[in-house]
Amino acid sequence: MTNKAIIVEKLSKTFNGFKAVDEISFEVGRGEIFGFLGANGAGKTTAMKMLCGLSMPSSGKATVAGFDIYQENESIKKNIGYMSQKFSLYEDLTIRENIRFYAGIYGIRPDIIKTKTVQLLTQLSLEKEADQLVGQLPLGWKQKLAFSVAIFHDPQIVFLDEPTGGVDPITRRDFWNMIYDATAKGITVFVTTHYMDEAEYCDRVSIMVDGQIDALDTPGNLKRLYQAESMDQVFLQIARKAKRTE
């Protein structure tokens, strides 16, 4: 066991000659909140999918939670949580049924599922809505629920792909409080976002441009380096260099 949750070395993904991800290398420490920024089409989601075992890398090396992404793909899956850009709970199932299903396929014991579901519903103050179909919930609640389901099996690392897209500022604030609670439990958070205020909440951020990582440091250091007042300005300076469009 190293103290690194994720180690990536020259990881690439090529689609028909197009280098979506071009030899990226970085490390993420345990318990860290790692912000993975970049403009649309920079290759963030592709890189994240390779780490989650959804996409086969073209070349390079990486370990996630200490497991090799080529050989131990299924072991990685036991140890990570993932929340995709697309809302991924079943809208035709109730809140309780969604929790039960995902917990069940992670192989959690039924008695533990029961007690943890009660805890979770209280924590989210969704006790009354527990038997409502998820499709009827407002978006903010859905996202919070999706996050809670993604970390229900206590993974070592959780991958969040634009978790707060389209959500109001108050809910975003709540959401980030949930992320902090997760790190307090020792979960490493790997998050992509387009909100630069959220980038400031991260321990370290990387900024991807045209499939490569152009900058990687703490938000404070990056602001000093680019002589910017906010992450917003840092991002604009770096992302404008992009040559390829979506």
Partner 1 sequence: MNPLKYILEKEFKQIFRDPAIIRVIFILPIIQLIILPMAADYEIKNINISIVDRDHSTTSNRLIHKITSSNYFKLVDYSGDFNQAMTGIDNDKADLIIELPRGFEADLYARKEAKLFLAVNAINGVKANLGATYLRTIIQNYNNDFRIALLTPGRFNELPVIETTSSNWYNPRMNYKFFMVPGILVLLITMIGLNLSAINIVREKEIGTIEQINVTPIKKFHFILGKLIPFWILGLIVITIGLFIAWLFYGIIPLGAYFTIYVFAAVYLLVILGMGLLISTYAENQQQAMLISFFLLMIFVLMGGLYTNIDSMPEWAQWVTKFNPVAYFIEVMRRVVLKGSGLSDIKQPLLIMLIFAIVINYWAVISYRKRS
Which residues make up the interface to partner 1 (CB under 8 A)? 52-56, 73-75, 77-78, 80-82, 84, 86-93, 97, 100-102, 104-107
Residue 126, C-beta contacts closer than 8 angstroms, at least 6 positions apart: 95, 141, 145
Q: Taking phi first (over 0 means left), then psi (-120 to 50 degrees means alpha), and beta for anything else, what does residue 78 get?
A: alpha
- Kindly state the smallest distance separating residue 77's Cβ from partner 1, in Å: 4
Cα 24 to the center of its chain, rounded Å: 17
User: Quick one: 33 or 76, whose CB is closer to partner 1?
Assistant: 76
SS3 for 215?
Answer: strand
Q: Give least dist CB 74 to partner 1, A.
A: 5
Q: How many CB atoms lie within 10 A of CB 200?
A: 15
Q: Which is nearer to partner 1, 26 or 101 (CB)?
A: 101
State in angstroms the smallest separation of the CB of 90 from partner 1: 6
The residue among 104 and 138 lying less far from partner 1, judged by its C-beta, is: 104
The least distance separating partner 1 from the CB of residue 70, rounded to whole angstroms, comes to 10
Measured over the CA atoms of residue 198, residue 202, residue 204 and residue 206, the dihedral's sign is negative
Beta carbon of residue 110, minimum distance to partner 1 (angstroms, whole number): 9
Q: Return phi, psi of residue 188, to 5°.
A: -80, 135
Which is closer to partner 1, CB of 35 or CB of 81? 81
Strand order through the sheet with 59-64: 18-29, 4-15, 59-64, 67-68
